[in-house]
Every structure is written in structure tokens, then in C-alpha cells.
């Protein structure tokens, strides 16, 4: 099976012991991912509505920042994706279609 990589041409960074732009962006992106995960856990368990709304706003800002960092890293060629195998996608789709038929409100699921 031939996996195709989806990647922009890589922006070259100096190879030195010091952190470079790619290292900093990768570190920030990892932190943003951790923060959105933590905020998500909080939002699932929050009982105070006003506090929930405040953290939801912070979560949204953090999620947007994470997406911008991802887009920047992808644009610079520092984030690579694997192209999905079409046959595997179809198999997974059919598998989950079978699950959808088991939902109690099947007519509401598209």
C-alpha cells in the first residue's frame, strides 16, 4: 500500500543546539493542544453557568490559536499528513453506517 504524504515544501531552519522557529512553533502548538484538552475536560464537568461561559470563550480562543499555529506549520512544510487510502475510508464509512442503523432515533441521523 503506497501512502502519499501531504506536505508543503519545507522551510529550512538552522541546525543548531538553540531552539529555532520550528522548535518554538512546535512547542507552542503542543501546549495549545494540551490546553484545549484540559479546557474541554473542564467544560464537560462545569456546573456553574457563568464560569462555564467564561471558560468556553477562553477555550474557543485557544482552539483558534491552535488552528492558526497548525496552518502556519503546515504552510511552512513542518506538519505532514498522510493521504487516506480510499478503500480503507470506504470500509470505515460502511462500518459506521452499520452502527448508525442501531441508533434509537435512526431517522434523525443523516
The string of DSSP codes covering 41-61 is HHHHH---HHHHHHHHHHHHH
Whole-Å CA distances, 49 to 7, 44, 109: 42, 12, 29
**This model's pTM is above 0.75:** no
pLDDT tens for 38-67 read 999 999 999 999 999 999 999 999 999 999
pLDDT tens for 5-32 read 777 777 877 788 889 999 999 999 999 9
- Segments making up each domain of the chain, as ranges: 19-108
Amino acid at each position: 500500500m503506497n501512502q502519499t504524504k501531504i506536505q508543503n515544501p519545507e522551510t529550512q531552519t538552522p541546525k543548531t543546539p538553540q531552539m529555532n522557529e520550528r522548535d518554538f512553533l512546535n512547542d507552542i502548538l503542543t501546549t495549545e493542544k494540551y490546553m484545549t484538552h484540559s479546557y474541554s475536560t473542564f467544560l464537560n464537568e462545569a456546573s456553574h453557568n457563568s464560569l462555564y461561559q467564561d471558560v468556553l470563550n477562553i477555550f474557543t480562543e485557544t482552539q483558534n490559536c491552535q488552528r492558526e499555529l497548525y496552518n502556519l506549520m503546515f504552510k511552512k512544510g513542518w506538519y505532514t499528513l498522510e493521504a487516506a487510502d480510499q478503500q480503507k475510508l470506504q470500509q470505515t464509512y460502511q462500518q459506521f453506517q452499520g452502527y448508525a442503523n442501531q441508533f434509537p432515533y435512526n431517522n434523525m441521523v443523516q
